[in-house]
Amino acid sequence: MMKHLLYIDPGSGSMLFQLLVAGVVGFIAFVKMYWFKIKSFFSFKKKDESK
Amino acid sequence: MNQNNKSIEPSSFKDSAGFVYYQNGKVYRDVLNSFLLNYNAVKSKGIYNSLIENKFLFPFKELNENGNIRLESEKIALITYPYEWGFQQMKEGAIFQLELIEKCLNQGAMLKDASPFNIQFINGNPIFIDVLSIDEYVSDKPWQAYKQFCEMFLAPLLLSAYFPENWNKELQINLEGISLKKTAALLPLKARLSSLALIHIIWHSKFQMKGKGSGEVKMPKQKVLSILSHLKMGIKELKKYSPSKQWTNYQQQLPYTTDQFQLKSDTVKQWINKSYYKLVLDIGANHSLFVNHLQYRADDILVIDNDDAVVDSLFKEKKERVSALHVDISLPSPALGLLLNERKSFTERVRPDLTLALAVIHHLFHSRNIPMNRLAELFAEYSKELIIEFVSENDEQFQLIKNVNNKHPYNKNLFEEEFEKYFSIDKVVEVKSGKRFLYHMFTKTQ
């Protein structure tokens, strides 16, 4: 059987914490993406007006 | 010295997958039976080759001797430790580590740990040296080294971003990283505005204290990748806290006329041109005006300075064969860790055959009150061939940095008298009338 050796202490709590964090950072990435889209939409409009 | 002697690398005791030793000038890793299946599984997916081709992994050759797997690689001449790196070097090391994990995950492998000691820099570019840290990826397994990454890479980077000083140095005291608890306590309130510090250090540390069990947590690969991506984005945006301006503009205020500087430069180049060196140590290099010239005269050039801003700017230039480290020659890195041989001292790793010490002696004399006899002893430790600039007490720069409480005697005669105890002075050139002199000397034991 293949053994997966661990020689560092992953830290009690760090494993479960990752699960929660993954949700939070996923949300942040989602918000950032939309924020970027909104920003680029308005900056495009601005450019148009200046013509 | 018997070149056939096998010497085991004392720092490779942690990993039970194999061990590292040196023989005939090469580095070997013996893969132990307990890891053989894992090694073959990673190999069969072509991951090692792909990582080597993409310059993520230091190249190695597999030697199969009666079923025993031995990995052979070239020896890296100059090993550096993260507590000697500047902020920029640690930042690039951290981003590299995250990208390496992403690369591994996408091919069905994972790293067992996240230690900056497994990264070395060649021509200013990071490379992973610990092949046995790469293991098979087990589906839905969380990132085991998440906490280690936060304590060894992220903590010193964040502290260096919010406070003066180079916090990589803290790894010298805490070889396993700056604990989450300590980092969270140190970080200022405004750090909570950054999701990088808030999530990965502050919340992360609170979760440790609650001692939630680490039982079987299932975590899809995509979620691990999203954490890696968040860390990478955050670290890319980090900037060193207001870098010191002490020496970064020094080049523009050099205390020479153009002719004097030309004479200094020509003299040094003329002396250097006579040999080819394995390792050149340039102490207090500032902008290392001679690096370009040295590049073609040496295998490795190590530039050290005690100003981390200078080290960062030199590191960013990414010059071939040049390493820039944040090391104060009067406070070099000691031997550390298990039996004091897990991490070697700076003196043990750095044995230059040429040392340049241009206009640093007066700084060492004033900032650390080092008397002339100890300065001679210091340079004798680090040099076989020495090019040193003596700055007289009547020089403007000497007067500028003068420490009035330093009552040790300092003059040219004493300098020559003390240095001649260890060195034979070959040549002396006066580069600034009565104020600055270049010496070319060789140790007497040579």
- DSSP letters spanning B347-410: HHH---SEEEE-S-HHHHHHHS---HHHHHHHHHHH-SEEEEEEE-TTSHHHHHH--TT--S--
The whole-number pLDDT of residue B97 equals: 98
Q: How confident is the model at residue B213 (pLDDT cuts 50, 70, 90)?
A: low
Task: Kindly report the backbone phi and psi dihedral angles of residue B289, in degrees, each rounded to the nearest multiple of 5, phi listed first.
Answer: -65, -15
The whole-number pLDDT of residue B394 equals: 92
The C-alpha of A38 sits at a distance from chain B's nearest C-alpha, in angstroms, of: 20
The whole-number pLDDT of residue A1 equals: 55
A2-17 mean pLDDT: 70
Q: List the one residue out of B352, B314, B325 whose CA is nearest residue B83.
A: B325
The whole-number pLDDT of residue B295 equals: 83
Per residue in B291-344, pLDDT (tens digit) is 888 888 999 999 999 999 899 999 999 889 999 999 999 999 999 999 999 999
CATH level 2 (architecture), domain B250-443:
3-Layer(aba) Sandwich (3.40)
> Inter-axis angle of helices B221-237 and B87-107, to 10 degrees?
160
Q: List the one residue out of B352, B341, B246 whose CA is nearest residue B304.
A: B352
Backbone CA torsion sign across B397, B403, B404, B406:
negative
Q: What is the pTM of this model?
A: 0.92
Per residue in B253-264, pLDDT (tens digit) is 667 888 888 898
**3-class secondary structure, B128:** strand
Q: What are the sequence ranges of the domains in chain B?
A: 1-241, 250-443
Instruction: Give the CATH number of domain B1-241; options: 1.10.10, 1.20.1530, 1.10.510, 1.20.1050.
Output: 1.10.510
Query: Is residue B282 within 8 Å of residue B303, measured between CB atoms?
Result: yes
Looking at residue B379, its amino acid is F
* ipTM of the complex model: 0.75
- Higher per-residue pLDDT: B56 or A35: B56
Map tokens 């003596």 to a residue: B390
Measure the CA–CA gap between B392 and B65, rounded to whole angstroms.
63
The reply to whether B353 touches chain A by the CB within 8 Å rule is no
- Higher per-residue pLDDT: A36 or B342: B342
B188-209 mean pLDDT: 93
pLDDT over threshold 80, residue B236: yes
Strand order in the sheet with B26-31: B7-8, B18-23, B26-31, B68-74, B61-65
Q: List the one residue out of B384, B363, B352, B370 whose CA is nearest residue B418.
A: B370
The whole-number pLDDT of residue A5 equals: 53
**Nearest-CB residue to A25 (from B144, B214, B226):** B226
Neighbouring residues of B340: CB distance < 8 A, sequence distance ≥ 6 = none
The whole-number pLDDT of residue B253 equals: 61
Alpha-carbon distance values, B289 to A7, B218, B314 (Å): 45, 55, 11
Average pLDDT, chain B: 91
- Higher per-residue pLDDT: B376 or B368: B376
Per residue in B148-198, pLDDT (tens digit) is 999 999 999 999 999 999 999 999 999 999 999 999 999 999 999 999 999
B72-93 mean pLDDT: 97
**Nearest-CB residue to A21 (from B41, B145, B227):** B227
- Higher per-residue pLDDT: A8 or B134: B134
Q: Which of B19-33, B86-100, B198-212, B359-373 has the lowest mean pLDDT?
A: B198-212
Alpha-carbon distance values, B10 to B5, B116, B176 (Å): 15, 17, 16
Alpha carbon B124 to its chain's center: 10
**Nearest-CB residue to A14 (from B112, B146, B199):** B146
The whole-number pLDDT of residue A26 equals: 87
The reply to whether B136 touches chain A by the CB within 8 Å rule is yes
The whole-number pLDDT of residue B125 equals: 96
Is A15 in Cβ contact with B204 (below 8 Å)? no
Looking at residue A15, its amino acid is M
Q: Which of B10-19, B288-297, B343-352, B433-442 has the lowest mean pLDDT?
A: B288-297
pLDDT over threshold 90, residue B267: yes
The whole-number pLDDT of residue A8 equals: 64
The whole-number pLDDT of residue A43 equals: 78
The whole-number pLDDT of residue B217 equals: 84
The reply to whether B289 touches chain A by the CB within 8 Å rule is no
Per residue in B43-53, pLDDT (tens digit) is 999 999 999 99
- Number of Cβ within 10 Å of residue B355's Cβ equals 23
The whole-number pLDDT of residue B328 equals: 95
pLDDT over threshold 90, residue B434: no
The C-alpha of B57 sits at a distance from chain A's nearest C-alpha, in angstroms, of: 21
B353-367 mean pLDDT: 93
Q: Which of B68-82, B186-200, B213-227, B319-333 has the lowest mean pLDDT?
A: B213-227
Average pLDDT, chain A: 75
Q: How confident is the model at residue B273 (pLDDT cuts 50, 70, 90)?
A: confident
Backbone CA torsion sign across B309, B311, B312, B317:
positive
Region of B315 on the Ramachandran plot (φ > 0 left; ψ -120 to 50 alpha; else beta): alpha
B346-375 mean pLDDT: 94
Question: In this structure, are strands B322-326 and B134-136 parallel, antiparallel, or unpaired?
Answer: unpaired
**Nearest-CB residue to A7 (from B41, B112, B230):** B112
Residues of chain A contacting residue B35, judged by C-beta atoms under 8 Å apart: 3, 5
The whole-number pLDDT of residue B166 equals: 96
